[in-house]
Amino acid sequence: MNNQLELFKRIAAFLAQQMQNCEFVVHDLSNLEHSITYIGNGHISGREIGDSATDLVLKVLRNKDHLTRDYTQIYNSAAENNTRFHSSTFFIKEQDHLVGLLCINEDLTHFQNVFDAVSSILGKTQQQEAHVVSERLVPTIDSLPVNVIDELIQKRIHNINHLTKEERIDVVKELDKKGVFLIKGSINQVAKTLKVSEATMYRYLQAIK
């Protein structure tokens, strides 16, 4: 394993002991389907070593965000168990090559409980700011292409059978921006979901370049 990743794993392990309300994750980007090489306090999100990269990781890779900055600003994320987090990600680089990520996810459960208690006392007159999720902390990204397609289609019309060729190409363009096609087997999966052949999918991908 890359020496830098080993160093960040040790740093993450140290921090995880000191900050037990935070999850610390090191991703090795050489294997997106099993990128989590270290996770401290993983019980918070329910993930473990060997689980996959997230939708945000794919987007960072596709957009090459690491070329213009060293880390992300704080953003909202959510786990499959509905735990909410404030998250941030540090880019582990070798010159201009992104080799890994150090992700810190702060559990907001305590703050949510306090807010709920105060709202109850005040007769629920308080309204919490919407938690707009930028990243989903899930063990596997296998279902990501289908989930993203469903979201995109619901914004347009509500039946995939009614999509025009141009609308299908727009969906493919959005999927490409999100890094979905970095996942092995995603082209075949997207083709089936859009009800087109793989050959047609490759033509769509060529059309958006």
Residues 23 and 101 in one domain: yes
User: Looking at the domain assignment, is residue 35 inside a domain?
Assistant: yes
pLDDT tens for 86-113 read: 999 999 999 899 999 999 999 998 766 6
The domain tally of the chain equals 2
Residues 103 and 146 in one domain: no
Residues 16 and 106 in one domain: yes
pLDDT tens for 102-160 read: 999 999 987 666 656 666 666 654 454 555 678 888 888 777 777 777 777 666 656 77
DSSP 70-109: SBPPPEEEEETT--EEEEEEEEEEETTEEEEEEEEEEE-H
pLDDT tens for 9-25 read: 999 999 999 999 999 99
Structural domain range at position 8: 3-110
Give pTM, 2 decimals: 0.81
Residues 91 and 189 in one domain: no
Looking at every residue in the chain, the average pLDDT score rounds to: 87
Residues 155 and 90 in one domain: no
User: Looking at the domain assignment, is residue 122 inside a domain?
Assistant: no
Look up the CATH number of the domain holding residue 81.
3.30.450.20
Residues 154 and 100 in one domain: no
Sequence-ordered list of residues with C-beta below 8 angstroms from that of 112, at least 6 positions apart, any chain = 84
Residues 33 and 73 in one domain: yes
Q: How far is CA 100 from CA 41, 83, 141, 207, in A?
A: 19, 24, 17, 31
User: Looking at the domain assignment, is residue 37 inside a domain?
Assistant: yes
Residues 147 and 88 in one domain: no
User: Looking at the domain assignment, is residue 30 inside a domain?
Assistant: yes
